[in-house]
Amino acid sequence: MYLILDIARGIAALSVFLYHIKATLENSMPVLAKIAQFGSLGVPLFFVISGYVITASAEAVIRRKRSSNSFLKRRFLRIYPPFWVSILVVVTIPYIIAAVSSFKSGIYLLPHPRYIELTSADWTQLATLTKIFMAENTDLEGQFNQVNSVYWTLAIEFQFYLCVYVALVFRKYFHLIMILITIISLLLIVFPQQLNNGLFIHFWPMFAMGFFLYYVIESGLTLEKLFVCNSRFIAPTVVVLLMGLIVFLAYLGELKQVLDSIFPSSSLGFALISSCLLWFAAPLETVLEGAKNGRNLIFGYLIKMGAFLGVISYSLYLLHGKIVELPAMLARQIIPIDSALYPILMIGGTIALCSVFYIFIEKRFMSAKQKIIYHAAFTSASSKHL
């Protein structure tokens, strides 16, 4: 299941990336630009995947009788240190761009980035991710825009971890606590209350979908078993058709409109559909593992590329919106911005730079087991982890 999750992570990270550069794609890749306008739905997909992976990790803590503190420590190291280093990278980018530009013009113009206006209290709130509670409306990105808008999701994510940590402290009631939080989050959809917009509870239903998905998959229940059918083509057919429908609606510009008409929100709807897709795709894990190093080199390469994007997805997510300016600046010196090669160089250059960040920064804060798991994304070895 974890190869599929890596590929899903890669798709989610790439979707958010394309969403943030959709204006650049409009002239050179108009079809991709139409689809990319819905790339922000990669965030609900991230929350679902997180729900699955964190539940698997929590169950391992319970099964192996580890301390709840060990769980929180691992989650803290995965989120905060790379996040802090990413802040350092982000704040230096305007100065790097100004320095590179000065070689061409001969004049160094001191940049005036928006984050200069932040106070010491703002920086403290940003570094601790508590700035999300300062939002007076639903624009949570706005609390982090002066540095990096994507940071808001990390604040929500870590609140998820804290809830799971509390449930692990009282592990005898772990499942009950998780279900009660889910019920409360669903009741708040039906009966909205005036709660702080930065609270995790507003986003918990998406995380909970991953929580329940874990137990469904662990139970061995598949689409074929549900409908009492032995055909091995049902799951892949449904996955392909459903993904095709999503892309088609995105191309028509109606994806969010359709989701909003069926579900309480497009985010919740996409999270539910993503959960179903991951469930349907679960039996294909061994097929993908075999194809990854099979005779079809093109298909194998695409699987490896998807897994690779999944491995570096956190680094890519943290930095793409700001670091993309560096390869874009270089690409503009080589080719016209309306050329299809221009966004390809932008995207490729950004992925390359984020890969460097992953290797030298993010990877250092992974557990030894996680490193082995992620290494398996590029080898023929299959692995079960957490």
Query: Tens of pLDDT along 63-118?
Result: 999 999 999 999 999 999 999 999 999 999 999 999 888 877 777 778 889 999 99
Q: Kindly report the average pLDDT of the chain as a whole number.
A: 92
Are 158 and 79 in contact by the 8 Å Cβ rule? The answer is: yes
Q: Residue 378: is its pLDDT beyond 60?
A: no
Average the pLDDT over 14-27 and give the result. Answer: 95
Query: Tens of pLDDT along 320-342?
Result: 999 999 999 999 989 999 999 99
The two three-digit tokens of residue 304, written as one number: 């490896």
Determine the number of helices (DSSP H) and then strands (DSSP E) in the chain.
19, 0
Structural domain boundaries of the chain? Answer: 2-378
What pTM does this model have?
0.94
SS3 of 208, please? helix
Amino acid at 251: Y
Percent of the chain beyond pLDDT 70? 94
Are 335 and 342 in contact by the 8 Å Cβ rule? The answer is: yes
Burial letters 71-91, b for 16+ CB under 10 A, else e: bbebbeebbbebbebbbebbe
Minimum mean pLDDT range among 205-214, 222-231, 298-307: 222-231
Q: Residue 381: is its pLDDT beyond 70?
A: no
pLDDT category at 2 given cuts 50, 70, 90 is confident
pLDDT category at 386 given cuts 50, 70, 90 is very low
DSSP of 73-104: HHHHHHHHHHHHHHHHHHHHHHHHHHHHHHHH
Report how far residue 335's alpha carbon sits from residue 313's, in angstroms, rounded to the nearest whole number. Answer: 28
Amino acid at 232: R
Task: Give the CA-trace dihedral at 255, 261, 267, 270, to 10 degrees.
Answer: -60
The whole-number pLDDT of residue 234 equals 84
